[in-house]
Amino acid sequence: MAFRAAFVTFPGSNCDRDMAVALEAISGTAPIRVWHGDADLPERLDFIALPGGFSYGDYLRSGAMAAHSPIMRAVKDAALRGVPVLGVCNGFQVLTEAGLLPGALMRNVGQTFICRTVPLVVENAQSLFTAGYRQGQEIRIPVAHHDGNYFADDATLDRLEGEGRVAFRYRETCNGSRRDIAGILNEAGNVLGMMPHPERAIEDDHGGTDGRALFESAVGGLVNA
């Protein structure tokens, strides 16, 4: 059966096309574009992606306005029903602002926009997004953000670590994130937020393919389910 994915375009999203291209390249089926103002998602979705960008111009806080846009109510409902949701970069910021993931993404500690390919360590290779990696595998994925400095209080960080919910960690300090966290899962494991851009790492021509396994995991996991 075809892989039914949707991606949300907010005003100011700029990685939505990259996300769509990646999803189609890996799954063989073009994903459905959903607009921020839509109240409903298409039915029977296998996957929802919140792309990177600068939704609503990063007004107030990155992701704060998008988190309250009409479509997010439907995304929350879908996430609670267990539909896999991937938020990349601004998508991660939206997921934290919407309360689907704990913590917050603050201004990078060095104050600068960071745009480069960074080494990550796969900390949990058992989630539906990461099953295609090896535990502890080092991968290289691009980051491009100003507000990627992950913050949560110690109790939350301890819980995330204890429950295996840190999916990816920067191998070296990147943006000041507490415990070098680059990506986290929700409690049920069906929502992943990450600052690095796996959708920008699926073609050799673009500097690497380490992002493919993430989409392959999501697509393959559902095919096998």
Q: By the criterion CB under 8 A, which residues form the site for other proteins?
A: 60-61, 64, 68, 96-97, 102-104, 106-111, 149, 151-152, 176
Q: 1: which residues sit within 8 A by CB, 6+ positions away?
A: none
Residue 34 CB, nearest approach to other proteins (Å): 22
Q: CB-wise, 32 or 64, nearer to other proteins? A: 64
Beta carbon of residue 150, minimum distance to other proteins (angstroms, whole number): 11
Is 89 part of the annotated catalytic residue set?
Answer: yes
Tell me how far apart the alpha carbons of residues 135 and 147 are, in angstroms, rounded to a whole number.
27
29-66 burial: b if 16+ Cβ within 10 Å, else e: eebeebebebeebeeebbbbbbbbbbbbebeebbbbbb
Shortest distance in whole angstroms from residue 206 CB to other proteins: 30
Q: Which residue, 152 or 182, has its beta carbon nearer to other proteins?
A: 152
Which of 97, 123, 145, 199 does the annotation list as catalytic? 199
Q: How far is the CB of 61 from other proteins (least distance, A)?
A: 6
By beta-carbon proximity to other proteins, the closer residue of 111 and 224 is: 111
- Nearest approach, Cβ of residue 148 and other proteins (Å): 12
| Vertex 125: Cα angle to 24 and 94 (nearest 5) | 60
Q: Which is nearer to other proteins, 130 or 177 (CB)?
A: 177
Q: Per the residue annotation, which of 15, 89, 97, 123 is the catalytic one?
A: 89
Nearer to other proteins, 33 or 151 (CB): 151
> Among residues 15, 123, 145, 197, which one is catalytic?
197
Write out the catalytic residue numbers. Answer: 89, 197, 199
